[in-house]
Chain A
């Protein structure tokens, strides 16, 4: 057999294995669901903290015998389940964010996905008490995009609250956004929980005036996640931190507080503004409160962390998933699976959050297509472990005049 034939044989084997894997996926899902239905005790509410991992463990030990692997990757404590004391009544709320809508004639996929999320939230039974939209409704802050988003969100008939993302803001400095969705920050109490919505996007240092940028140029730089021109734009700001202190002043220190923000309220990866620059000052205000949960967008990925007494959960985007950054992924995060770039519905979705009578808030990622396989079960399928040999450098083309704009 010559080398060419050997190569063809190896290629055929790889193709066959890939085909087997594709064909097997729905079958594994079915087996998992059936086993769960059979093995769960009557009336037993599935414990979400173990629901997926337990199924994974049974599946692996029965079908594959790979117990060691399941023990390594399957029995890690759940990280998207949040305990909240004094949750007096069970209720649900939903999160949608990062739809990044472009005009309909440019990109229909993002519209389809935003519409799907909205329909699924509206179809929740029992209905969610409210929807929080977490920012980045538009891609380039264009009124056409924001109006389109407002129309899509009208289909949700339950109560809605909104916080802005940077993509919604920097064309007209928030005028259209505020016209549609009102000002931030805000706070309200609901069934024993104080909910707070922050604006972490509008207080960027002025990078545009000195360079005489047009509003479109200003927006274009803000819209590039790994750009360097807009700098450390994410922040809460002194005025809003003072507002936060006032908004919490009358709230008992041991009662639950849920803070919605577009950016995470901790330092994850500053080059992509996966933080707010004044997170330490924010935490100073929050320090006396023993039960604070931050729910945020912007990172487009499965993410969990605990900083001090604050817990933080990252939400999925409906538009596209971001990769994990080259450093800073918290050890408490169970990484999401590697997503298929050929499937626009993979790795994206929305979140269903439940505040239970047992004083718990549970977050359920509604990730389309791979709903049953949100968390990585082995290094080969992990969005983090996949990058073990990867070392990255920041881009350069926007660091040197005249390269920061159009190529000259």
Chain B
């Protein structure tokens, strides 16, 4: 294609995009996306909060939830919340960072597994597992007002 043709094609595409946006009216949403309904937003939140609840139960040593998800987070009678009430001192807002105990650049999921293995003497869980996602959801939710401070020791 010659340069003049390429320019004409680009201009044509731009005009087409503008027309598309104008015809979408005052709605700022992209053309392919429907406007969110309150029901949708509620449903999305429920998905998240259900994970927070499951994570909360795991974090507090709920045996039935552990059994249901096939994990063993502790063999010492210790639960995460025994050192971290309200998920205090978990500092999800500081990850990823160099973590002294592991001597490596670590994510929150690495740290969760370290706590399961070391102080709790439990069985490390798959970083992509439902249990890990739920624990992560609870910890981050409980710390949601914290200021992001990644990398802080």
Contact = CB atoms under 8 A, between A and B. Distances in A.
B47 to A, nearest CB: 15
B57 A391 contact: no
Contacts of B103: 15, 18
B45 to A, nearest CB: 13
Interface string A370-408: 000000000010000011011111111110100100110
Contact of B57 (A109, A380, A394, A407): A407
B42 to A, nearest CB: 16
Contacts, number: 125
Nearest to A300: B83
Contacts of A102: 76-77
A301 to B, nearest CB: 12
Contacts of A51: none
A42 interface: no
Interface string A313-331: 0000000111111100000
B132 interface: no
A344 B87 CA distance: 19
A407 B68 contact: yes
Main SS class of interface, A: loop
B64 A106 contact: no
Contact of B77 (A107, A226, A340): A107
B86 A394 contact: yes
Contact of A139 (B77, B87, B115, B147): B77
Given A14-B98, A320-B82, A406-B64, A391 B119 contact: no
B148 to A, nearest CB: 8
User: Is the interface on chain B under 10, 10 to 19, 20 to 34, or 35 or more residues?
Assistant: 35 or more
Interface string A77-117: 00000000000000000000000001000110100000000
Contacts of A392: 86-88, 142-143, 145-146
B57 A403 contact: yes
A123 interface: no
B139 to A, nearest CB: 11
Contacts of B98: 11, 14, 18
B133 interface: no
Contacts of B89: 323, 386-387, 390
A323 B87 CA distance: 10
A75 B65 CA distance: 50
Interface centre among B64, B84, B88 (most CB of A within 10 A): B88
Contact of A391 (B64, B83, B146): B146
Interface size class of A (residues with CB under 8 A): 35 or more
B144 A393 contact: yes
B35 interface: no
Contact of B145 (A272, A393, A406): A393
22 contacts: A15-B103, A102-B77, A109-B76, A139-B77, A224-B60, A227-B60, A341-B115, A341-B118, A342-B118, A387-B89, A389-B147, A390-B143, A391-B143, A391-B147, A392-B146, A393-B86, A393-B145, A395-B60, A396-B52, A397-B56, A397-B60, A403-B53
Interface of B: 49, 52-54, 56-57, 59-60, 62-65, 68, 76-78, 81-89, 91, 93-94, 98, 100-101, 103-105, 115, 118-119, 141-149, 152-153
Sort A-B residue pairs by CB-CB distance and give the 7 closest, nearest first. A391-B145, A406-B64, A226-B85, A397-B56, A407-B65, A389-B147, A323-B89
